[in-house]
Structure 1
């Protein structure tokens, strides 16, 4: 998937100088882009903090201070910081752009590295971290994602021994930790590499980085981290409760000296580890020298000519594989030149001379025989390493987890479950990919990494109501969703510029890259609806017309006088715009009363009956006689308080 399509910053020029050309990666705190420095005409990396972090003033201040510190930390294995600034209120850093891959990418591709490759990378990692330790800085987040392996001048990173390694994100972890100092229980580190003291009391020093570097070494040698699980807190506490196992327990044939090195770097007691990265670096170089001196196979490969055995006057160099066998452009500072021992035809080392009686022919024969043996050893070793120990990987695609585990048991290979991958077509917990691929080469009895389908990838629309536009956009981008600004609406309760509503609604499940349209508040409407309760309908109509509003009426029964306004929608004080409609509830007056027929009833009884109905009574003639006639007549409907005249005689 092209991750740059939905990013509105692509093509933007920052500070009139840095033109963003693409997006490299997005993390929890910031996004990294490639950009062209149009002033110096070079490619740089530009890291911009997420909008959700920009409101944390403490985090921003520490981020800025640490950036200044790292900019002064000059070292060939540290990713350099060139510049800093703000874009639309968001802090950014301009850094050295390293062409290559992260160590995480390499481990994903190759799963694990050879001991010589792992130590070569670790040396340069520790050289960078040691420089930071000397400057009083602690990285706090040493992991493969923060280790960049640059391409060698010859192109590619296949020869990891000659590759240049650079460590990134110095100081940012410190800034993140400081910003969360008031949040108890929050662990600002990657749990797979976290030191025990960070888990138990939150304390970090140079020995914390030493521990994390030891975990990285373990992963490079074995292809996995020592502690894993679904619960990050549980994984973190495994570092406190358990010792890191020996790498040779997972990968047969690893030298015990690597077990010892890993154990020293990852002791649970910080006081038992090397004091800082520089001390660990010295131990790594010693181990690498020891491995190089014992690595006969590699030495033989380097000394055998490509086409024929050496002639009598040839000179063959047998180098040791140690700290100095990298080319000058990739050598660490103050590193010695390559060491070797020359064997010249016709001249053996002093310790090997027997005297002057041996002729040149005998020496040539012995040398040719030695070379022949070496060639046979190399050929045999090469066949075993490249072909003999491999078999074809079975196809596990579209098999369920249970089927895969049965296949592994029947066919004799080990399973390693990757992080999984989302799929619209492959059912959940079914294999969606494998490494090696079907029919690819795998060591007999070796490990096949499978990724199970996580099912369709969906993201729930968050509650955006009341958020500013930039914050809402940041929330959606973190969920891999896009924001579209819809038409604005007036609101009496939501401030101008804040989100009123979203479409789809909160909680709706969407695919990656889907668009959420938000309606923003335009603030209060310009016209205030007046209070019309108790006014005559005609008076109310006139008042609304003067304000540019229209009236609609709904007549209702009420004990209020007829045509009196008894309610309104919207209420008084509400904002409105021209031609908006105000609905008025208008009284139809009290209910009509039916006048009873009182003929021939005693006059006083008739009076009582009429007054009981809320009518007024007028008696004509003799009040003590009987009713002979009435006005209005019987069964006539009249309004309350209507006068009824009765004639009594």
Structure 2
């Protein structure tokens, strides 16, 4: 441990401890007290110490007198310097080391280089012991090995059964499409699968209550301990019909698209209360559920039905009001009346509107006649027929000329009526001579 050259010292604490254990195991107390060989070399087993030289003498420290060449015993004589007996070989290269020591005996003391080389050989040999120092209990160790091998064999057999024939074995998932749930479970149990949960899904083709598919899918190789989920059909996805009645046409169409439904037949109808463009009704009714793409029929209002305005001019007030009511219109009499040459008093002179269309309940204003206008009749007697005729016509009368005796003079001799009042447009008769 105190060699100056690091190569001559143990490599680390573990190597030193191993050397000490070897020494303690193989040497007796007497052998441990023996001094080292010249040059610090270990004395090989089975050989005597070489003759000491003048440079490597053992001296008695503090003795009264000593010979420079003598080997002396320090302290009590019970442990004299002696030749080590043969000891078990500790290292794999002990044979080579013994051969080197024998060669040293043959040629004399080793040089410093030879001694260093021999020390390196011994240090290398210390790392490869050939003797086990642990407690020797071969029977117990053999029993432990047998027990371990047995346990491993049982584990291997169990694992082999588990993977080859037990729950860990591979099995093929059967095809249970369109089977009922009990039928599918029976098929999977027969195939070796014991965990068969179910899950509901919508499907457009498979009827409700029947198997759509499995997870993992049919034909897959799966360990038997894995669960095989049955996907049970709930039938197609159903969508509720939205409320279309009362909505504008475009809003109703958008509601159908959002509900995954389709517009069916769209009819139109007049309605006296619902404005044009508003949905009057639908089929099927709102709230019912159908598959995606189902058609929904509905009708749309065209607004109130138009009514042609009838002509009631010339009719009496009562007759005109009755005629308007018959077609769903309402007659209203204007407060002011007018004179009319042709329409008798109390009859309809005019109406507004007098044509076109109205909706049910529309108003028609009636203007009634108060008869022709009464005009004072001037006397034309003695006047020339031409002047008399012009004057009367200017007043609004019609003129009829009757000639007496050929009417040679052209003078009005008589008129009818003469004086008083006459209705505008009435005829005044002039008799001319």
TM-score (norm 1): 0.23
TM-score (norm 2): 0.32
Higher relative contact order (CA 8 A, sep 6+): 2
Mark the structure with the bigger radius of gyration: 2
